[in-house]
Chain A
Amino acid sequence: QVQLVQSGAEVKKPGASVKVSCRASGYTFTTYAMHWVRQAPGQRLEWMGWIRAGNGNTKYSQKFQGRVTLTRDTSTNTVYMELSSLRSEDTAVYYCAPLLGGYFDYWGQGTLVTVSS
């Protein structure tokens, strides 16, 4: 069965960076793109971007272009999301979700990132 295990909660200061990991299992990792979606408290879900796990190609939402970097490690089936120049508005739960069938039918458990001075 598909499983996505994300790293634990983080607390960061404004201006810092955060790197969240997502380890995938239960499907052929390199065949599919991994997407990242975040949700600020009480807000809608917000798509951030994807990385093709096979070749490492990336596509980012214009909102996050220049601040987000997605990378992957095919030896451990892990994708990383790094967000820089953090501000309070980046406080959110960050989810990874592979696009296996055209939509997000599997999600990680979410990682809470809190940005606070």
Chain B
Amino acid sequence: EIVLTQSPATLSLSPGERATLSCRASQSVGSSLAWYQQKPGQAPRLLIYDASNRATGIPARFSGGGSGTDFTLTISSLEPEDFAIYYCQQRSNWPPEYTFGQGTKLEIK
């Protein structure tokens, strides 16, 4: 099973600052990686797929990068509504399974 490790566990920043979140895979996943945002009491929301493509309706301040085992999610200038928990997720072709990282909590400083 591919394990995803996110860092940092918690990131404390102020609105307007730049946020960089990391996700490392235990083995290469190519570009088959997504990022989700989750707010309390809500289902996750897809932000980025295939490592660098923004999902429909996602603001341009969100960008993803990386391939293989190291990935990043960048939020260029934090808005108040961006403070949430972020998860990375990979899909492997064989075995066809899906795993999530443990999450990074982005909190207001």
**Is A80 positioned at the interface, with any CB of B under 8 Å from its CB?**
no
- Of the candidates B36, B43, B100, the one whose C-beta lies within 8 Å of that of A46 is B100
Q: Is the CB of B43 within 8 A of A95?
A: yes
Q: Which residues of B contact A105 (CB under 8 A)?
A: 46, 49, 55-56
Q: Which residues of A contact B89 (CB under 8 A)?
A: 45, 103-104
Q: Which of A35, A59, A103 has the most CB of B within 10 A?
A: A103
**Closest approach, in angstroms, between the C-beta of B35 and any C-beta of chain A?**
10
Number of interface residues, chain B, beta carbon within 8 A: 21
- Contacts A47-B97, A61-B97, A110-B43 given; indicate if A103 touches B34 (C-beta within 8 A): yes
Q: Is the CB of B102 within 8 A of A35?
A: no
Q: Is the CB of A104 within 8 A of B46?
A: yes
**Is B96 positioned at the interface, with any CB of A under 8 Å from its CB?**
yes
Q: Which residues of A contact B96 (CB under 8 A)?
A: 59
Q: Is the CB of A108 within 8 A of B46?
A: no
**Is B99 positioned at the interface, with any CB of A under 8 Å from its CB?**
yes
Q: Which residues of B contact A108 (CB under 8 A)?
A: 43
- Contacts A61-B97, A110-B43 given; indicate if A102 touches B91 (C-beta within 8 A): yes
**Is B71 positioned at the interface, with any CB of A under 8 Å from its CB?**
no
Q: Is the CB of A103 within 8 A of B46?
A: yes
**Is B62 positioned at the interface, with any CB of A under 8 Å from its CB?**
no
- Contacts A103-B89, A104-B36, A104-B89 given; indicate if A44 touches B46 (C-beta within 8 A): no
Closest 4 CB pairs of A and B: A107-B43, A47-B98, A45-B100, A105-B46
